[in-house]
Amino acid sequence: MGGLAALAREAGHRVTGCDAGVYPPMSDQLRALGIDLIEGFGAEQTALQPDIYVIGNVVSRARLPDGTPKFPLMEAILDSGARYTSGPQWLAEHVLHGKHVLAVAGTHGKTTTTSMLAWILESAGLQPGFLVGGVPLNFGVSARLGSTHFVIEADEYDTAFFDKRSKFVHYRPRTAILNNLEFDHADIFDDLAAIERQFHHLVRTVPSTGRVVVNGLEESLTRVLHQGCWSDTRTFGTAVSDFTPLGEPHDFAVLHKGERVAQVQWSLGGVHNQLNALAAIAAADHLGVSAATSAKALGSFENVKRRMEVRGVVRRSQGDITVYDDFAHHPTAIRTTINGLRRQVGRARILAVFEPRSNTMKLGAMKAQLPWSLEESDLAFCHSGGLGWDATEALAPMGEHAQVASSVDEVIAQVLSKVQPGDHILCMSNGGFGAIHSKLLAALA
């Protein structure tokens, strides 16, 4: 929604927005654009008399225990008969119509892959528009209108309380990346098959002259395509795919149908980023951008804020302590993120600090996978505040390697009691995590 607001502002509209507890980097970006942020959802905001309200999917018709509406502004909008729409619908009608849309879908890696693809097209001189669920460091903003091509992060979560379709069915892409697919969003999907059905709805919207780029390693995506595909397809990842890697994730050759066509040398690590790169290269190929051009662009790709972002280094004579921030919140993402760091730091100790904050994690749908996701870390620290399940029990298989605390301050105290010179402290959350990164750095300093 923050990126959408930025697009509306760039298009010349006066834009305001409201939310609860907005935090950086998006809050900083919006203020820099001159977009007023109003805390809370009070009905008095109808006095602004906007031409249209664009409703995000955080808004619902829910009521508080005392019976009052959780979102009074939404009730006032409905009572007044004012015009409103969803974010994806507004995008489809006012931004995406008439453009070549490149949509990046998947359980993991959407933000990073969207940023990679946008940077590749920018480096190729195509001046793409984009909307990313984060802030790509190469651009410094999460969204811009651009020219005739538009790269968008395509989310499978539902659109709004009045439109329960996945957001991505609104985008009508000509190029669609299906990066991976696992069970997630347990609050709205019953099982993996339900999400596969939504992914197939996306595939149905790609024209016959379009392209679907698919991760060949994912059986779930194979099932999606078996439901029907009417477009050109390109696969990546497996030995028999159209685009395959050869080498380590930080320095690898790109093979197209077995022929070496490019070499990627960059600062990123992790097999997941290697696969993200192949997906972006295959999508850019649909626009005639060569793999060699794409690989050269990736060499200067700077990643996204909150994706293995170094928040600070505390100097110690026996070895520096580094604090990272990462958005990982699904067990698979946690595991691949730790694995990527492990490949970079070798035998140095990794302290994984995380909070199960997403709706799926809060419901406990994936608590049994947590020990598996954390096994490459040396120590794990879990913030359990607000959970409806026992994190200590879930992490019991890790024994003394895992600790649980109900507050951020307690987590920090636990980390401080165990940290040693040379350690790498990896903080993972899809929220602000109580500013734990800056608090840790201050305490260590």
CATH code of the domain in which 72 resides: 3.40.50.720
CATH assignment of the domain containing 345? 3.90.190.20
Specify whether 110 is located in the same domain as 192.
yes
Give the phi and the psi of residue 352 in degrees, each rounded to 5: -90, 120
Q: Rounded to whole angstroms, how far apart are CA atoms 132 and 136?
A: 8
Boundary residue ending a domain (273, 298, 323):
298
Query: Which tokens is 112 given?
Result: 């990073």
pLDDT number for residue 153? 96
pLDDT number for residue 370? 92
Would you say residue 148 lies in a domain?
yes
Specify whether 100 is located in the same domain as 70.
no
Q: Which residues of the chain have pLDDT under 50?
A: none
Long-range contacts of 71-78 (CB under 8 A, 24+ apart): 71/41, 72/41, 72/42, 72/43, 73/18, 73/41, 73/42, 73/43, 73/45, 73/46, 74/41, 75/43, 76/43, 76/46, 77/46, 77/53
Specify whether 25 is located in the same domain as 151.
no
β 129-131/143-144 pair status = antiparallel
pLDDT in tens, 387-407: 888 999 999 999 999 999 999
pLDDT number for residue 343? 87
Specify whether 99 is located in the same domain as 76.
no
User: E strands within 347-401?
Assistant: 350-354, 379-383
Domain count, the chain: 3
Boundary residue ending a domain (57, 82, 107):
82
Specify whether 137 is located in the same domain as 279.
yes
Query: Which tokens is 407 given?
Result: 């507050």
Specify whether 13 is located in the same domain as 76.
yes
- R_g of the chain, CA atoms, integer Å: 22
Q: What pTM does this model have?
A: 0.82
pLDDT number for residue 60? 96
Would you say residue 303 lies in a domain?
no
Q: Read off the amino acid at residue 242.
A: D
Query: Which tokens is 388 given?
Result: 């409806």
How many beta carbons lie within 10 A of that of residue 435, not counting itself?
12
Boundary residue ending a domain (298, 332, 361):
298
Specify whether 269 is located in the same domain as 347.
no
Query: Which tokens is 319 given?
Result: 């070895």
Query: What is the domain range of residue 60?
Result: 2-82
CA 47 from centroid of its chain's CA atoms: 34
Would you say residue 304 lies in a domain?
no
pLDDT in tens, 432-443: 888 899 999 999
* Cβ–Cβ under 8 Å, residues 130 and 143: yes
